[in-house]
Amino acid sequence: MPTQTVTNEVMEAGSGKHWTRAEKEARKKAAEGLKRAKPRGLYAPSELSKGAKEVWKRVLASTKGVELLDNMDTEILALYCENVSKAKKLIKLDKLDSDQVKEFQAYSRIAISYADKLGLTPSARARLVKKKADKIKDSFSEKFD
């Protein structure tokens, strides 16, 4: 199994490995290079279904004001929205046969996977909060850096 990539925040917080000052600085500089000066807006792809566009609008409205999504997330968000839309269509049916149940489970599993990657699940948001909290250092710990 390949080694998990360690983010700059994890390096700073201490990930079990001793990181040299040069390694930390190089990682920090590389991470800064990926940040945008001004975030770009997200626009729904034209090929999204009507149901998926509704999910898209709901997600964007829910995440407004939070630096969570970027236009580089468009394709993953589109896949998430399509899977949620398809699962919703199936759940609205009165009676599902076994193939439809399997289809619903597949759509749901995929949607949950994408939601986690996009930071839309409670556990994903908790991880993001932890990363931010780890960045905030009190004055006592700064004396030992």
Q: Quote the CA–CA distance of 17 and 141 in Å, as a whole number.
A: 19
Same domain, 69 and 135: yes
CA atoms within 13 A on the CB side of 18: 1
Query: How many distinct structural domains can be found in the chain?
Result: 2
Same domain, 97 and 55: yes
Q: Is 100 helix (H, G, I), strand (E, B) or coil?
A: helix
pLDDT attached to residue 129: 74
For residue 85, pLDDT beyond 90: yes
For residue 80, pLDDT beyond 70: yes
Same domain, 112 and 58: yes
Given CA atoms 74, 77, 83, 84 in this order, what sign does their dihedral have? negative
Same domain, 54 and 117: yes
Q: Quote the CA–CA distance of 122 and 120 in Å, as a whole number.
A: 7
Q: Which token pair is 94?
A: 């009165």
Same domain, 52 and 109: yes
Same domain, 19 and 90: no
pTM: 0.68
Provide the residue range defining the domain that includes 88.
Answer: 40-142
Q: Quote the CA–CA distance of 115 and 68 in Å, as a whole number.
A: 12
Same domain, 57 and 114: yes
- Of 19-23, 73-77, 123-127, 135-139, which gets the smallest average pLDDT? 135-139
For residue 62, pLDDT beyond 80: yes
